[in-house]
Amino acid sequence: MNQKVLNNTVVNNYKGIMMENLRYSFPLLHEDELSRAIDWAIDNRYVSKPGRLYNNYDKKTLTGDVIDILNYIEKLQPILCSSGVLFKSRKYSDNPFDKMLQKFLKQRSVYKTKMKEYPKNSYDFEKYNLLQLLEKINANGGYGLFGAPTCLFYNIFLADSVTFSARSSISSSIMLFEAFLANNVKFNSLNEVITFISNVCREKPERIFSDSIVIGKQITAEQCFFKIMRTADPMLWIPTENELSLVWDIIRSLHPQDINRLYYKNNLYDVFDLPMISELTIAILQELDHPYVDPNSPPEEIRDDLDLLTSIIKEFVYYRYPYIDKFDRIEYMPRDVVVLSDTDSTIISFDAWYRFMLEKVQGIDIPLARRKYDLYTLIHPDDDGKRPDRQLYELVPMETDYNFYTDEVIEVKKKRELYKLIPQESLRYAIINIMAYICSNLVLDYLKCYCDANHSNLEGDKCHLMINN
């Protein structure tokens, strides 16, 4: 046997996962038999491919096969870029350019803070606004230097890696939102189904919530099987009878808790249909004393319940594993709901979520939906830069309440009272910002996992994925 292949860390991790998966399909086989079978498959099916690593700074070249390159990466833990460029880890060497960018961004933050101390359109406000924009240009211009042949720092591989890394992080975010909000990311092969099952089942040691409390029922193996197989993309993969039988054998051999978790993973609306989750979400809406207008700063009265809801959704729905073929999927995969992406942003719509929750709150008394607010007092801080503790509101009489399914009255009101936050809008902001808060927490975790996977994070240090806007 090829011991160099079998002793490789990546191959051994693969072998461990295969052992878990095959144990579900062949429960009568002994562990030694499974191990020998996997070793035989690896040894006979591995094809050695030549590899080459080129350092264009010291003009040195490392040659070998794929396993040699994997061993090199495992030993030195370089920063991995989507374009195939590797960088020396920050734990081995300082990066002067990184420090320069950090200085630009830190100074920009100082100017932005100073700018907010002055009234809008005042001389000092415009002065510091201009200074913070100049620091933004300095930071953005730094990246452009790598692609300019006339610059001292020119390096075409570096320029390429910056562009691909940006595309990769944005694509990763899109994949998260597509899967989490609409289960758009379909299975294209049996391998993807088994990988999905394996990933979810291996989360068992990290689970903290009880299925009996959150779910309150047991999902059957049949329900789980049909949910997973409905997620297959028929344009790319139609499972054979043997493949269907294999998936069914795996699912019916799982622990009941694993079956529950597989069913609800990337299944957002079924989770919010659960009585416990639905009641918690409605309770959050009822607890609000004033409009929830900033998704990143939830009012104190709902913070604990909102964090609890976020934790539950993170455990039951959120699928934190990367999609290797994310570039192809973004360009070609069929979608039930479309996520738009710009050069440096991902734009998602919560309309389906908003209408879903509207159905649930019909006929339920939500104080926020009976009050009219002055939007100006909500979005502008006082002289000390702090929000007022209490917002003035006006109760809306029952006979002048608004229809939540038509915008006729709202359109008329808005033409006359541009700065008034009317009841339907207050409820709309609250519903949308609950999900925006959840998604913000999930995408931060997802991008941290992304940075951990490409070795760009250091233990005990902040994530160095910088989003400059």
pLDDT tens column, 86-102: 988 877 877 788 788 88
29: DSSP letter: S
- State whether 60 and 184 are in the same domain: no
What percentage of the chain reaches a pLDDT higher than 90?
40
Q: What is the pTM of this model?
A: 0.83
Interatomic CA distance for residues 85 and 156, integer angstroms: 11
- Which of 179-183, 263-267, 369-373 comes out lowest in average pLDDT? 369-373
Amino acid occupying residue 167: R
Interatomic CA distance for residues 159 and 147, integer angstroms: 5
Mean pLDDT of the chain: 84
Please count the CA atoms within 13 angstroms of the CA of 104 that sit on its side-chain side: 20
Domain boundary among the residues 76, 97, 114 is at 76
Three-state SS at 234: coil
Interatomic CA distance for residues 454 and 449, integer angstroms: 9
- State whether 320 and 213 are in the same domain: yes
Amino acid occupying residue 111: Y
Model confidence pLDDT, tens digit, residues 393-440: 444 444 444 454 454 445 445 544 545 666 677 888 899 999 999 999
What local confidence, expressed as pLDDT, does residue 395 receive? 46
What percentage of the chain reaches a pLDDT higher than 70?
84
Interatomic CA distance for residues 106 and 97, integer angstroms: 14
Domain boundary among the residues 76, 101, 121 is at 76
Q: Give every CB contact of residue 400 below 8 A, 6+ residues apart in sequence.
A: none
Whether residue 444 is predicted with pLDDT greater than 70 in this model: the reply is yes
> Is residue 44 in a domain?
yes
Whether residue 309 is predicted with pLDDT greater than 50 in this model: the reply is yes
Helical pair 256-264 and 221-230, crossing angle rounded to 10 deg: 30
What local confidence, expressed as pLDDT, does residue 382 receive? 44
Interatomic CA distance for residues 388 and 266, integer angstroms: 39
Average pLDDT score over residue span 236-261: 94
Q: DSSP letters along 402-463, please?
A: --TT--HHHHHHHHH-TTEE-HHHHHHHHHHHHHHHHHHHHHHHHHHHHHHHTT---TTS--
Q: Which helix (H) or strand (E) holds 65?
A: strand 60-65
Model confidence pLDDT, tens digit, residues 11-37: 888 888 888 888 877 878 888 999 999
> Is residue 463 in a domain?
no
Determine phi and psi for 181, rounding to 5 degrees. -85, -25
- State whether 63 and 203 are in the same domain: no
What local confidence, expressed as pLDDT, does residue 384 receive? 41
Number of domains in the chain: 2
- State whether 193 and 331 are in the same domain: yes
Average pLDDT score over residue span 136-158: 83
Helix then strand count (H, E) for the chain reads 20, 9
Q: Cβ atoms within 10 A of the Cβ of 460, count?
A: 5
What local confidence, expressed as pLDDT, does residue 396 receive? 46
What local confidence, expressed as pLDDT, does residue 375 receive? 61
Report residue 189 as tokens. Answer: 């092969």
Size (the chain), residues: 469
- State whether 67 and 175 are in the same domain: no
> Is residue 155 in a domain?
no
> Is residue 45 in a domain?
yes
> Is residue 119 in a domain?
no
What local confidence, expressed as pLDDT, does residue 387 receive? 45
Report how far apart, in Å, the C-alpha atoms of 428 and of each of 198, 278, 281 are: 38, 17, 14
Report residue 273 as tokens. Answer: 């249909």
Q: What is the end-to-end Cα distance of the chain in Å, rounded?
A: 54
In terms of pLDDT, which residue wins out, 420 or 68? 68
In terms of pLDDT, which residue wins out, 99 or 182? 182
Whether residue 130 is predicted with pLDDT greater than 90 in this model: the reply is yes
> Is residue 191 in a domain?
yes
Determine phi and psi for 392, rounding to 5 degrees. -75, 135
Whether residue 269 is predicted with pLDDT greater than 90 in this model: the reply is yes
Q: Give every CB contact of residue 164 below 8 A, 6+ residues apart in sequence.
A: 81, 82, 83
Report residue 60 as tokens. Answer: 């040195």
- State whether 177 and 71 are in the same domain: no
Give me the domain span that covers residue 42.
Answer: 3-76
Interatomic CA distance for residues 402 and 393, integer angstroms: 17
Interatomic CA distance for residues 179 and 341, integer angstroms: 15
Interatomic CA distance for residues 77 and 55, integer angstroms: 16
Interatomic CA distance for residues 444 and 447, integer angstroms: 5
Domain boundary among the residues 14, 48, 76 is at 76
What local confidence, expressed as pLDDT, does residue 391 receive? 42
For 234-261, letters b (16+ CB in 10 Å) and e give eeebebeeebeebbbebbeebeebbbbb
> Is residue 465 in a domain?
no
342: DSSP letter: E
Model confidence pLDDT, tens digit, residues 357-407: 999 998 888 888 777 666 655 554 444 444 444 444 444 444 444 454 454
Helices (H), 46-95: 66-76
β-pairing, 79-80 with 371-374? Answer: unpaired
Model confidence pLDDT, tens digit, residues 449-464: 998 888 888 776 666 5
Average pLDDT score over residue span 298-316: 96
Helical pair 156-182 and 423-453, crossing angle rounded to 10 deg: 130
- State whether 198 and 311 are in the same domain: yes
* SS3 labels along 245-292: HHHHHHHHCCCHHHHHHHHHCCCHHHHHCCHHHHHHHHHHHHHCCCCC
In terms of pLDDT, which residue wins out, 426 or 312? 312
Q: Cβ atoms within 10 A of the Cβ of 357, count?
A: 23
- State whether 324 and 184 are in the same domain: yes
Q: Which helix (H) or strand (E) holds 79?
A: strand 79-80
> Is residue 252 in a domain?
yes
Interatomic CA distance for residues 297 and 433, integer angstroms: 10
What local confidence, expressed as pLDDT, does residue 344 receive? 62
What local confidence, expressed as pLDDT, does residue 460 receive? 65
